[in-house]
Structure formats: C-alpha cells, structure tokens
C-alpha cells in the first residue's frame, strides 16, 4: 500500500534555531518527492522537488534530502524565522499511468520569538 509518514507530528522551536523534519514513504513506482509549506487557511506551496537520482535540493534556508534506497527524506530548516510557522507536507508522486500524489499527514511547526 502506498503510504507517506511524517514525523514529528508537531514541533515547537525558538526563532533562529534549526530543525529537521522527516518523511518515510512506501510508494512504488516512485516518481518524485516534494516538500510543501502550507500556511493556515492557504493552499500548499512547493518548496523543493526531487527525483530518484537527486540526493539534496536547497531552496534558501530549506534543504531537502532524499535517500531512495531507504525511502526516506528530510527537510532541514536553517535559522528559523517566525514566518516559518506552518504545516510542512511531504508528497510522493507515484507513476501509475497517470501521476498520483500521496500526501503525508504533515508536520506542524511553530516558531516562537
């Protein structure tokens, strides 16, 4: 069964600190993996996208890693800011004739001043 699991479920950190969010998946055949940031009451916004052959992808203070062998990904946020408070969703695309998205349950991040 195609599944995407994220941890932790929620996280509280102080402004300026770093944090790492985890994503484990069992999706086959794997196409790509995206990390989205979703502010409360808004649609998800793509942060990074990685294909099978990519190990690391950065977008400003966001760095995503992918280990296709262990089917794990992480999103590292450096020098967190208050505006980083949001839900971070890991989404894995399965190539099944037509592309299909499998969404993780997300990690809710709260950055405190």
Partner 1 sequence: GAVVSQHPSRVICKSGTSVKIECRSLDFQATTMFWYRQFPKQSLMLMATSNEGSKATYEQGVEKDKFLINHASLTLSTLTVTSAHPEDSSFYICSARDPGGGLVDGYTFGSGTRLTVV
Residues 47-106 touching partner 1, rule: CB under 8 A, are: 49, 51, 89, 93, 98-99, 101, 103-106
Q: Which stretch binds partner 1 (CB under 8 A): 14-22, 43-51, 65-73, 76-84?
A: 43-51
| Positive or negative: CA dihedral 109, 6, 78, 31 | negative
CA torsion angle 100 50 68 36 (round to 10)? -70
Number of residues this chain uses to bind partner 1 (CB under 8 A)? 21
Q: Which of 2, 22, 24, 32 binds partner 1 (CB under 8 A)?
A: 32
3-state secondary structure of 24: strand
Distance between CA 71 and CA 86 in Å, rounded? 24
CA torsion angle 40 66 76 37 (round to 10)? -10
Give me the least distance between CB of 11 and partner 1, in Å please.
Answer: 14
Q: Which of 44, 47, 73, 111 binds partner 1 (CB under 8 A)?
A: 44
Which of 53, 113 has the CB closer to partner 1? 53
Closest listed residue to residue 30, CA positions, set 88, 91, 74, 76: 91
**Binding-site ranges for partner 1 (CB under 8 A):** 31-32, 36, 41-46, 49, 51, 89, 93, 98-99, 101, 103-106, 108
């Amino acid at each position: 069964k195609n599944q995407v699991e994220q941890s932790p479920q929620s996280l509280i950190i102080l402004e300026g600190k770093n944090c790492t969010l985890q994503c484990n998946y069992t999706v086959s055949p794997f196409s790509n993996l995206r990390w989205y940031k979703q502010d409360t009451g808004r649609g998800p916004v793509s942060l990074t996208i990685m294909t099978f052959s990519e190990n690391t992808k950065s977008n400003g203070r966001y760095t995503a890693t992918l280990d296709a062998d262990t089917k794990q990904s992480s999103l590292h946020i450096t020098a967190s800011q208050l505006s980083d408070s949001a839900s971070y969703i890991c989404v894995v695309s399965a190539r099944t004739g037509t592309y299909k998205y499998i969404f993780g349950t997300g990690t809710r991040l709260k950055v405190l001043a």
